[in-house]
């Protein structure tokens, strides 16, 4: 199947693509509660004649088309964020997962309508809870990716990185780790601070200590305190308990490991200086991208096929995290990459009023459909 057939089929399906997006955008659901979203996607997949697997203990689904090897995978996240929009707290698709679902679902519809038949198995992962950072791990735990040879994902890119009509063959996301901490001090009267251990002063020492931690300056990395709760309603009491959170970012998994160890040593030192107890607990973690060059080359060719040379851009490097990369870190045999889709997205990802150019959905559907064709062709050689 040639790229021109795919482009023509996408063009004919334009209004349906927009309608799919409109439905998903209007019905957001937060992580691990994507019940109606799962039901809608399952219904659409079954209508295409795909085999659908759902789960008793979680949302999300896996759909398959064809049988045997090779196994080519497409993955989309399906959850929304919980945030304040125009004064009301609600689920909101401000990270583009509504677009990602549309792109993957409509790529399959496009291939079906164009008469494509996979020479093997096409496996589609509709993955829950990307925003929680553990949705990919759940599907890995269930063995849903063990047979996949190539895996392709997608993420809309903010206008600061890429404009509409452009696309990149990979996204080099960084690693992220959240640490939760608790400080136990000694309460005292504000007039007698020498009798207490002030947990706010301990927290301040941790903040100062973060500034003294250095890793390789060539690899971006940051660590900062993003939450601190201490004290009560009375201003004349030395507080004896505090909770805090640290946000760690690093562009590689190796630097993240180094950063974490240095923070643990620094916190132990602060603990000794103040003669207090500080506990650290690891929260959610996202690994940095491990991009396969073969998969990246296939995505690059698909972009060229659909957008031409003027549409191909270098793969962006992003400090943002993405749990897609657990698939390759946990299952190194999988050859994976993510499509970076330019769409004039603004003001930015996770902004409650995020919007993008809807026409870019057509580019993304075409590229994902074409990379599937390219991957089957590559595997057959």
Which helix (H) or strand (E) segment is 226 a member of? strand 221-230
- Position 135 scores a pLDDT of 97
Taking residues 314-341, what's their average pLDDT? 96
**Nearest-CA neighbor of 191 among 235, 153, 159, 247?**
235
Indicate the DSSP class of residue 289: P
Taking residues 31-36, what's their average pLDDT? 98
Domains assigned to the chain: 3-173+289-380 (3.40.630.10), 175-286 (3.30.70.360)
Taking residues 269-274, what's their average pLDDT? 98
pLDDT score of 360 more than 90: yes
- Position 12 scores a pLDDT of 98
For the segment 121-150, what is each residue's pLDDT rounded down to a tens digit?
999 999 999 999 999 999 999 999 999 999
Taking residues 176-193, what's their average pLDDT? 97
Tokens, residue 93: 């698709």
Burial of 47 (0-12, 13-18, 19+ CB in 10 A): exposed
**DSSP string over 309-356:** GGGB-PPPEESS--GGGHHHHH-TT-EEEEEEEEEEEBS-TT-TT-B-
In whole angstroms, give the CA distance from residue 130 to residue 321: 10
Spatial CB neighbours of 85, under 8 Å, sequence gap ≥ 6: 92, 352, 353
In whole angstroms, give the CA distance from residue 306 to residue 311: 9
- Position 107 scores a pLDDT of 98
Taking residues 313-329, what's their average pLDDT? 95
CB 297 within 8 A of CB 169: yes
Strand pairing category for 317-318 and 237-238: unpaired
For the segment 273-312, what is each residue's pLDDT rounded down to a tens digit?
999 999 999 988 999 999 999 999 999 999 999 999 999 9
Taking residues 160-171, what's their average pLDDT? 97
- Position 290 scores a pLDDT of 93
Tokens, residue 35: 């019940």
- Position 270 scores a pLDDT of 98
- Position 284 scores a pLDDT of 84
For the segment 187-209, what is each residue's pLDDT rounded down to a tens digit?
999 999 999 999 999 999 999 99
Percentage of the residues of the chain whose pLDDT score is greater than 70: 100
Q: Where are the alpha helices (DSSP H) in the chain?
A: 3-12, 14-26, 35-47, 97-113, 135-141, 199-211, 253-274, 293-307, 326-330, 360-380
pLDDT score of 81 more than 90: yes
- Position 116 scores a pLDDT of 97
- Position 381 scores a pLDDT of 80
Phi then psi for 183, rounded to 5 degrees?
A: -115, 130
Q: Give the pLDDT band of residue 31 (cuts 50, 70, 90).
A: very high
Q: Dihedral of the CA atoms 290, 294, 297, 302 (nearest 10)? A: -100
| Average pLDDT value over all residues in the chain | 97
- For residue 180, give the 3-state DSSP assignment: strand
Burial of 226 (0-12, 13-18, 19+ CB in 10 A): exposed
CB 130 within 8 A of CB 323: yes
Count of CA atoms in the C-beta half-sphere (13 A) of 373: 26
pLDDT score of 1 more than 90: no
Indicate the DSSP class of residue 184: E
Spatial CB neighbours of 63, under 8 Å, sequence gap ≥ 6: 41, 42, 45, 50, 51, 52, 53, 108, 123, 124, 126
């Amino acid at each position: 199947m040639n790229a021109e057939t795919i482009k023509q089929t996408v063009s004919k399906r334009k209004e349906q693509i927009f309608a799919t997006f409109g439905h998903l955008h209007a019905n957001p659901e937060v992580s691990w509660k994507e019940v109606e979203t799962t039901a809608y996607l399952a219904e659409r997949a079954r209508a295409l004649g795909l085999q659908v697997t759902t789960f008793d203990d979680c949302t999300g689904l896996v759909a398959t088309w064809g049988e045997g090897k090779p196994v080519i995978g497409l993955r989309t996240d399906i959850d929304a964020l919980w945030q304040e929009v125009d004064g009301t707290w609600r689920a909101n698709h401000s990270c583009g997962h509504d677009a990602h679902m549309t792109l993957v679902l409509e790529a399959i519809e496009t291939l079906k309508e164009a008469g494509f038949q996979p020479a093997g198995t096409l496996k589609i992962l509709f993955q829950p809870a990307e925003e929680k950072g553990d949705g990919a791990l759940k599907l890995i735990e269930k063995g849903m990716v063990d047979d996949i040879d190539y895996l392709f994902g997608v993420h809309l890119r903010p206008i600061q990185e890429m404009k509409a009509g452009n696309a990149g063959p990979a996204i080099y996301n960084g690693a992220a780790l959240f640490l939760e901490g608790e400080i136990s001090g000694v309460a005292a009267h504000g007039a007698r601070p020498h009798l207490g251990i002030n947990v706010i002063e301990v927290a301040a020492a941790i903040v100062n200590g973060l500034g003294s931690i250095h890793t390789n300056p060539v690899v971006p990395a940051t660590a900062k305190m993003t939450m601190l709760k201490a004290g009560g309603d009375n201003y004349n009491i030395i507080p004896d308990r505090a909770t805090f959170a640290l946000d760690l970012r690093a562009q590689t998994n190796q630097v993240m490991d180094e950063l974490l160890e240095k923070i643990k040593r620094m916190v132990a030192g602060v603990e000794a200086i103040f003669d207090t107890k500080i506990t650290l607990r690891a929260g959610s973690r996202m690994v940095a991208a491990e991009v396969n060059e073969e998969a990246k080359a296939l995505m690059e060719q698909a972009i060229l096929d659909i957008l031409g040379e003027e549409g191909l851009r270098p793969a962006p490097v992003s400090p943002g995290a993405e749990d897609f990369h657990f698939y390759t870190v946990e299952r190194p045999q999988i050859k994976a990459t993510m499509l970076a889709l330019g769409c004039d997205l603004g003001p930015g990802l996770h902004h409650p009023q995020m919007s993008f150019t809807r026409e870019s959905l057509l580019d993304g559907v075409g590229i994902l459909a074409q990379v599937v064709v390219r991957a089957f062709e590559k595997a057959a050689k």
